[in-house]
Amino acid sequence: MKRLILFILMLFITDSYALDYQDIKMSYYRSYQYEKTGDYENAIKALVFVYNEYPDGYTVNLRLGWLYYLMKNYANSVFHYKNAIKSAPYSVEAKLWIHTSATCSEEIFRSRKICYQILNTDFYNYYGNLRLSYALRMEKKYETAIKIAQKMLALYPTDVNFLMELALSKFESGKKEEAKKIFLDVLILDPENVTAKEYLKH
């Protein structure tokens, strides 16, 4: 079973294998082991020869994007996630991670565009909508952020993440009393929600 999974992963790397199967397998294994200890630099180095052989490979770029993200090197993280998307244009996971890296580097405009790309593929994608609502709120586009949260709450009425996005957008747009009612609802579902408690003090 493990061999079958790795074989499938290799299909995303290339259609022809210039490197030995065992070498590729060992490189990923070493990378995962280094990651477990927080040694992200060596986790990246473990994959260098795979990347050099398959610079357009989906799996290796996705992995490097993740490791650079952990190192807080968001520019390189976005670079590798973009490479992954070139190999698999409909990949939602790579686009979600580009959004995360772009948000961390405060490139909100780029992150919003990426969310719309995700929703073009999957209109009700949970994380795509959640992150879009957040990105719009950061840009102070509160009414659109509210509509996104409400759209998803029609599907997930008790989802704390979307309730919080709705409440925060309402609060920051000046609808404080409406927001406080939602924060109170959040505390029924999530009694220890620190953010809701803090906003109810205002």
> What is the tens place of the pLDDT at every residue in 97-143?
876 776 665 566 667 888 888 899 999 999 999 989 998 998 999 99
CATH assignment at residue 98: 1.25.40.10
Q: Report if residue 44 sits inside a domain.
A: yes
Q: Report if residue 19 sits inside a domain.
A: yes
183-190: list long-range contacts, CB under 8 Å, 24+ apart. Answer: 186/160, 189/158, 189/160, 189/163, 190/160
Q: What is the mean pLDDT of residues 78-84?
A: 92
Which structural domain, as residue segments, surrounds residue 152? 145-202
> What is the pLDDT of the chain when averaged over all its residues?
88
Q: What is the pLDDT of residue 156?
A: 96
Q: Which of 53, 55, 79 shows the shortest CA–CA distance to 67?
A: 79
Out of 122, 137, 170, a domain closes at 122
Q: Is the pTM of this model over 0.85?
A: no
Give the Cα separation of 157 and 174 in Å (integer). Answer: 23
Q: Are residues 7 and 87 in the same domain?
A: yes
| Domain tally, the chain | 2
Q: Are residues 30 and 92 in the same domain?
A: yes
